[in-house]
Each structure stands twice: as C-alpha cells, then as structure tokens.
C-alpha cells in the first residue's frame, strides 16, 4: 500500500492535468459554390506566412472546373492544418464553342484574397461563392 507521501505526490502530479485536453487538431475545408450560369475554372491557392527562420510556404493549390451549382457546394477537404493562411481564389470563364470568337480580354475573370484562421475545430470551413458578374464572396463556418 502506498504511503501518504507517495499518494500526495502522485495526486499533485495528475490533478493539474484533470480537465485538460489536447488542443483541437482538425484540418480546415474549403467549400466552393459556382452561382454563375456557366462552367468556370476555379483556382485555389493557400499560403502560410513564414516564421522567423522561414519564408512563406504554399500549402495547397488546385485548379478545377466547376459547373453551375445552385443549391450545393463542392468541398475540398483537409486543405490546411491549424494556423493562419492567406487564401487566393481565382475564377475564370471557360471557353466554349459559342465564345471561341472572343478575345481573352473579353473573358470574364475575378481574383480575390482573404486571410483564414484554421482553429482546428471539427467541421471548420471557408466557404467561397462565385456570383454572376464574377464577384467572389467569402464566408466562414
């Protein structure tokens, strides 16, 4: 049987840990909704600022086609670990047979950036809407 001194030493070592938990460690997701009336290209780039001994680092980049998606969004899962990031979204009209006569200057496109803090909470997302007129909106969930 442990002595009183051993019992107190063991209790003092564990009591400060009671109720403590590890910080959340879930990755952030990006949800993209194409609310235009046409297929578009969407490019997402996520960068993390450098620290004292390192420069900025690109942690995610993807360029994908998005069809019109009224009522739903596509999800890019686990794109960033907890931390603070600069997110840049570029949307560009896809060329189709009707628009092959257009010059690239007439092509609709938009670019917008935001800062996103991924806290590690479960289900955390940055929501991106591309609207008619190629306006880009950001929301956080």
Q: How many CB atoms lie within 10 A of CB 121?
A: 12
- Between 1-5, 53-57, 128-132, 136-140, the lowest mean confidence (pLDDT) is in 1-5
Compute CA distances 124 → 2, 82, 103, 114, whole Å: 47, 10, 40, 16
Of 114, 106, 123, 110, give the one whose Cα is nearest residue 36: 110
Calculate the CA dihedral of residues 25, 23, 46, 40 and round it to 10 degrees.
60
55, part of any domain:
yes
Q: Which residue would you say has higher pLDDT here, 63 or 103?
A: 63
pTM of the predicted protein model: 0.73
Q: Measured between alpha carbons, how far is 46 from 104 in angstroms, rounded to an integer?
A: 26
CATH number, domain of 95, equals: 2.60.40
User: For residue 8, is it within any domain?
Assistant: no
Give the tokens for residue 83.
């931390």
Give the DSSP letter string of 36-75: SSS-EEEEEEEEE---SS---EEEEEEEEEE---TT--EE
In a domain, 2, yes or no: no
Q: Is position 89 within any domain?
A: yes
Residue 64: is its pLDDT beyond 70? yes
Does a structural domain hold residue 10? Answer: no
Q: Is residue 9 part of a domain?
A: no
Q: Is residue 15 part of a domain?
A: no
Query: Are 73 and 33 a contacting pair, CB within 8 Å?
Result: yes
Task: Give the model confidence (pLDDT) of 87-126 as tens digits.
Answer: 999 999 987 655 555 555 567 889 999 999 999 888 899 9
Tally of domains within the chain:
1
- Of the chain, the percentage scoring pLDDT greater than 90 comes to 43
Residue 122 in domain: yes
Domain region containing 56? 22-140
Distance CA 17, CA 93 (A): 55
């Amino acid at each position: 049987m442990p002595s009183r001194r051993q019992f107190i030493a063991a209790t003092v070592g564990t009591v400060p840990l009671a109720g403590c938990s590890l910080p959340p460690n879930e990755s952030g997701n990006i949800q993209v909704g194409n609310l235009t009336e046409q297929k578009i290209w969407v490019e997402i780039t996520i960068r993390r600022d450098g620290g004292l001994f390192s420069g900025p680092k690109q942690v995610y980049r993807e360029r994908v086609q998005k069809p019109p998606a009224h009522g739903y969004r596509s999800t890019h899962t686990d794109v960033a670990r907890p931390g603070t990031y600069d997110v840049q979204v570029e949307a560009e009209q896809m060329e189709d047979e009707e628009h092959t006569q257009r010059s690239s200057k007439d092509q609709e496109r938009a670019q917008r950036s935001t800062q996103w803090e991924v806290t590690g909470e479960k289900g955390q997302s940055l929501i991106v809407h591309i609207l008619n007129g190629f306006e880009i909106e950001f929301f956080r969930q």
